[in-house]
Amino acid sequence: MLVKEVEARRGVAPWIRPLVGSAIGLGVMAAGAGALYQVLAEAKDRRRYPPPGRLIDVGGHRLHYLDMGKGGPTVVLDSGLGCSMLDWCYIQPAVARFTRVCAYDRAGYGWSEPGPKPRSAGRIVDELLTLLRRGGIPGPYVLVGHSLGGLHMQLFARRHPELVAGLVLIDASPLDQRRRVPRPARARWLQQQLRWQLFCWSSPLLARIGVVRLQKRLQRPKTGPTRYPATVQPIAEAQRLRSRAFDWTFGEARAIERSEEEVRTAPAFPPIPLIVLAAENSSSGAIQQLWLQLQGEQALLSPESSLRIVKQSGHFIQIDQPDSVIQAIRDIIVGAGLAPACPGV
C-alpha cells in the first residue's frame, strides 16, 4: 500500500513500470539479435574476402601488406584517416610496372590486426619500419602519404633520413591546421567538430549491434564509398561495415595533436626530393584558400621540392586523378638519380 501511495503522489500510473520494463527487455533482445547478426555477417565477409597480401608480426599484432613489382627504389604507400590499402587500387598496379611498390594497412584497418594505443604517428612509424624490415623490403624508400598518412610519412623521413630517397605528399595533413582556421569560418568548423565527436561516441556501439549494417541494407538506392572500381567496391563496403571499423579511425583522430607534436620535435626534414600534390577542389571558400596555403608551406620543407595543384580533383587525388600521383612518383625516382626498373613503360 505504501508503494502505491508514493507512486500516486508522484503522478506515476501503476501501469507505467511494467511498460518500461517490457520496453527495456525488448531493447536488450533487439541489441542481442543485432549483435549476433553482425557477428555472422562479419564471418561471412572474412571468408568471402581473404587478405590479398601477407601478414607480418610487428610486436604483438600483425600488419597486412601487399608487395608488387621489382627493382628499386621501393615505393611505400600510406593511406589517410579511416582508409585502407584499397585506396591505392589505381596507383599500385601502375607503379609496379616500373619499380617495387608496397601498400599496407595500419593497425586495425583493412586486414591488419588492432595494435596498442595511443595510435600516434610515432607508434605508427615504428610499426611500419618493423614491417619493412621483417617483410624483407629493402630501402631506399620513396614514401607516399595521403592526408593523415602524409603526416606519418613526414615523420618517417625526419627520423630515418638514411632510408628515404624521396617523398610525395598527397593533400597531406599539415601541422597547426586547426589553429589557423580563419575567424569567419571558425564557427562552422566548430560545428563540424561537434558533429564529429558525437559520431565518434555513437558509431562504434551502433556498428557492434548491427545498426550500421542494417541501415546500409535498407538504403534505397545503395550508398557508400563508390570511388572504387566495381571489383574493389564490395570489399571496401565489407570493411566499412565491420564492428571495429570506427575504433581505429577515432583512435588516430584523438591522437592527432600528439602526432603533430611528435613531428615538431623530430629532427629537421632532410634535403630529399619532395613533391606536394594539392587538390584544387578539396574544400571551398576561406578554408580552401588556407588549405592551399598550408600545402605550399609544406613544399618549403626541402630545397628540392615542388607544389603541384591538381585540377578537377577532390581530397582523394589518388582516386580522382591517379595519373598525377603516378607521375609524381616517377619524377621523385628520376630526381633522386634512381632510374626506374622499366623507365620506358
Question: Is the pLDDT assigned to residue 151 strictly greater than 90?
Answer: yes
Question: Is the pLDDT assigned to residue 5 strictly greater than 50?
Answer: no
279 burial level (CB within 10 Å; 0-12, 13-18, 19+)? buried
**Beta carbons of 127 and 63 less than 8 angstroms apart:** yes
The more confidently predicted of residues 21 and 66 is: 66
> How much is the pLDDT for 210?
53
The more confidently predicted of residues 242 and 129 is: 129
Type of residue at 292 = L
> How much is the pLDDT for 181?
63
> In the chain, pLDDT over 70 holds for what percent of residues?
69
Over range 198-210, report the average pLDDT: 55
Q: What is the DSSP string of 225-267?
A: ---S-TTTHHHHHHHHTSTTTTHHHHHHHHTHHHHHHHHHTSP
For the domain covering 54-180+246-335, report its CATH number: 3.40.50.1820
Query: Which residue from 177, 145, 127, 1 is spatially nearest to 80, judged by alpha carbons?
Result: 145
The more confidently predicted of residues 338 and 6 is: 338
Instruction: Enter the C-alpha cell of residue 336.
Output: 633522386
What pLDDT digit, counting tens, does each position of 152-195 carry? Answer: 999 999 999 999 999 999 999 988 776 666 655 555 555 555 45
Which pairs from 183-187 meet CB under 8 Å and 24+ separation? 184/286, 185/285, 185/286, 185/287
> How much is the pLDDT for 223?
46
Query: Which residue from 231, 223, 77 is spatially nearest to 146, judged by alpha carbons?
Result: 77
Distance CA 78, CA 84 (A): 8
Distance CA 190, CA 178 (A): 10
Question: Is the pLDDT assigned to residue 283 strictly greater than 90?
Answer: no
> How much is the pLDDT for 33?
64
> How much is the pLDDT for 136?
95
**Beta carbons of 152 and 128 less than 8 angstroms apart:** yes
The more confidently predicted of residues 143 and 183 is: 143
Distance CA 44, CA 32 (A): 19
Give Cα separations from 299 to 13, 276, 294, 331 (angstroms): 69, 6, 9, 15
- Give the residues across from 67 on adjacent strands: 102
Name the phi and psi angles at 48, rounded to 5: -75, -35
Distance CA 5, CA 8 (A): 5
Total residue length of the chain: 345
Name the phi and psi angles at 285, rounded to 5: 60, -140
187 burial level (CB within 10 Å; 0-12, 13-18, 19+)? exposed
Distance CA 281, CA 298 (A): 18
> How much is the pLDDT for 343?
46
Distance CA 95, CA 292 (A): 27
Q: What angle do CA 337, 339, 342 make, to 5 degrees?
A: 170
**pLDDT-derived band at 143, boundaries 50, 70, 90:** very high
Range of lowest pLDDT (21-35, 36-50, 58-72, 269-283): 21-35
Alpha helices (H) in the chain, listed in sequence order: 2-9, 16-48, 92-95, 121-134, 148-159, 183-208, 211-218, 233-240, 247-254, 256-264, 285-298, 317-320, 322-335
**pLDDT-derived band at 310, boundaries 50, 70, 90:** very high
**pLDDT-derived band at 25, boundaries 50, 70, 90:** low
pTM: 0.82
The more confidently predicted of residues 73 and 281 is: 73
What pLDDT digit, counting tens, does each position of 212-236 carry? Answer: 566 666 664 444 446 788 889 889 8
Type of residue at 22 = S
Every domain of the chain and the residues it spans: 2-48, 54-180+246-335
Range of lowest pLDDT (241-250, 264-273, 335-344): 335-344
**pLDDT-derived band at 306, boundaries 50, 70, 90:** very high
